[in-house]
Amino acid sequence: MATMVMPPDRFKAIIERRRRYGQDSHDEVWNGVYVMSPEADNSHQKLAFSIAKVIDAACARKGAVVLPSVNVSDRADDWMRNYRVPDVAVFMPGNPAENRETHFLGGPDFLVEVVSKYDRSRRKLDFYASIGVREVLLVNRAPWRLDLYRLKDGELELAAISHPDGEIAVESEVLGLSFRLIPAEPGPRIEATDLQNKNQWLI
């Protein structure tokens, strides 16, 4: 199913029903346009949850705050007119984003988007750059590939790619972790390594 895009002033009953039944956890608003995505499949949700757990285990001692599916906005007022919902968001100590309970005003230091068919993850990169996200990890599943983007001169640029041959890892300067795809059945696994103490996790 493709992502559905609609103005927020239309189909109010549909939007309200999705909110009432908790079906809007990945819905977003892009500059006033309501972007309604189908519910993430089970493997998407399990993968995002597992990545969040590993990052939390690896980075909690550094004071990192790791959150799944959090709202992030660039608007001090009327934030629901423009926000995105990454699969995993990591806020390191000193991050200037404001926790406003319903959302963060400003971006995390590091975030993860698990890419699903027809989704718009790559189209979020300009927004993420504008709110100061330092690194974005895109987890592609068809075909499998890890893309690490890093903020440079106000833009998120592709810094490294890991393919499922297990030879190359992408290294996060923000987290001090590397991620690489390694061959496995029925599909590739993600190996995370702490670059300082060499502890490893398999996702």
Element containing residue 147 per DSSP (H, E): strand 144-152
The long-range contacts involving 183-192, CB below 8 angstroms and separated by at least 24 positions, are 187/141, 187/144, 188/144, 188/164, 190/51, 190/139, 190/146, 191/166, 192/54, 192/55, 192/58
pTM of the model: 0.85
Lowest-pLDDT range, 1-15, 37-51, 95-109?
Answer: 1-15
Mean confidence (pLDDT) of the chain: 88
Q: What is the DSSP letter of 107?
A: -
- Inform me whether the pLDDT recorded for 2 exceeds 50: no
pLDDT in tens, 151-183: 999 999 999 999 999 889 999 999 999 999 999
pLDDT category, 30, cuts 50, 70, 90? confident
pLDDT category, 189, cuts 50, 70, 90? very high
Q: What per-residue confidence (pLDDT) applies to 41?
A: 80
Give me the amino acid identity at 167: E
Q: What per-residue confidence (pLDDT) applies to 24?
A: 56
Element containing residue 192 per DSSP (H, E): strand 189-194
Name the CA radius of gyration of the chain, rounded: 17
Domains delineated in the chain = 1-39 (no CATH), 40-202 (3.90.1570.10)
> Do 56 and 68 meet the contact criterion of CB atoms below 8 Å apart?
no
Query: What would the mean pLDDT of 85-94 be, rounded to a whole number?
Result: 97
- Inform me whether the pLDDT recorded for 1 exceeds 50: no
> Do 135 and 173 meet the contact criterion of CB atoms below 8 Å apart?
yes
Distance CA 104, CA 93 (A): 15
